[in-house]
Structure 1
Amino acid sequence: MAAENALYVILKEKIKQDELVLPMLPEVALKVRQAADDPDISLAHMGELISHDPALSLGIIKVANSALLGRRVKVETISQAVNRIGLRQIKSIATAMAIQQVFVSKNSIVATYMKKSWQKTVDVASVAISLMDLYLKQQKHSPLSIDTLTLAAIVHNVGVLPIITEAEHHPDVFANPRFIKQAIIKLSGKIGGSITRAWGFSDELTLLAESWSDLTLLPKEPHYLDFIRAGAIYHGIFNDESTKEVLLASFAKKGILPEVDFMQCQQFKEKYLEVKSMFV
């Protein structure tokens, strides 16, 4: 257990001393967020800003053409995509799409872990977004929004990044993935909160990054946490049977799930794959 303990102790000390190197928000996401806060920004200007990043442009076009927006006529340009999504939603959607750029490393072993972490993030996010889209069709006056959830679900796991990066300095840790997994379980929430604060995200998003896996926090009303946790159940991140039963029953009672075993039906699985296609 020496390798695990060494990594854990080092991470805890760096957190305590505020010395942990946090990933930076991609520059294009920062520019989009700043532009979206400008009351005089135009859709044309926003489209031009996004068009400078080919990967983000492709992501935004995929979102605009997704089943989430319910449009049959496909858009082909970033200008058309931004007009379809709208300025109100583009800030969160563009940020979410750009965050993939921080899940990278020049070290091949670290890059593999980063890729797996991004895939897990997308898996959970796709479930959460699918469920919320279905939920909002029934609850048209809900204060929850799909764009906020999209960003929340994409950043929920961002705390793993500094842990994997720090592990790069301890190659023996990679010989046993359990060492990294334990550090992630114990520290990723706290680190995720530090990252979202550093990126200037809202207190609500910071709470989600810090608390999505803390099952002592159980909102009485439908909450973004519920949708992210449903994704964690679907992909086996929460795998204790009694925990799953309690959470699924709660989701059904709140109307987040039409019925407890809804995520096993073909309708949901097809919806999930449609949403996931936005990210791949």
Structure 2
Amino acid sequence: MTVELRHLRAFLAIAAEGTITRAAARLHVTQPALSRTLRQLEAHLGARLIDRSTHHLRLTVAGHAFQPRAAAAVTAVDEALDPARAGTWPLRLGHAWSALGEHTTPLLRRWKQEHPDTPLQLLRVDDRNAGLDRGTVDVAVIRGEADLPAEVNTVALLLEPRVAAVAADSPLARRTRLTLRDLIARPIAVNTIAGTTALGLWPPDDTPDDTIEVANTDDWIAAIAAGDAVGVTTTATAITYPNPAVAYLPLAGVPAVTVHLAWKQPPSHPAVPDFIALAQRLIPAPPSTTGG
């Protein structure tokens, strides 16, 4: 049997809706036809994708692993067949925050000059892998360590020094530089989705007493500007997110953060190798890949 796009759409609809009934209504097919399509897909893969033992269907371990691959395949086909995109095929560059900092604009401008027929689309995705695992981007900017599958290639592009972020009216803002110890008396704002700062950055015997968890950079900055917390980030944030209520100060005694470019192999866009080469040409190579 040859797997078709309808098999993937059927699986994704069932996974999203949780029942065959609702999924069938969503796809405008009968329930028996949808169940048959799912069985065909499972037979082809040699694995059970949906646990049917309860009234509300659930994904199996294999189903959870297959879901992002199926979603990426459907997204790629939909975009390829989108009439609005006929004649253009944008290269999608994903980032969770700050893109490439001070290098972002020069890189975008140079790409436009050298590749005028291939638009470069910058996408912010609040995700540790900046949308790469979901197939929503072709290349991802990833800071620090990330859990990436074997088919993903990475290159260390640059090192970003860490800085402290404090409220501009805080006594700490009057200092010329700070240390991790200077921050422990205040709650630490931690971006749990895509940030590079965790309590493990501090020595085990000298860690902060409290944290404020946020899910994106906007909320992180808001917490610091309000004086509710302090934070640790990189110089890219200070460049990309200047705020009169937030002071960014050099942070002594901490390792820099390695910024990687990551892409799937084979590439999801034919221009990926050209983009990697351009980025490496414009941005000086880091002296090492330690840090994170």
Instruction: Establish whether TM, by shorter chain, passes 0.5.
Output: no
Larger Rg: 2
Q: Which has the higher helix share?
A: 1
Structure-2-length-normalised TM-score: 0.27
Higher strand share: 2
TM-score by length of 1: 0.28
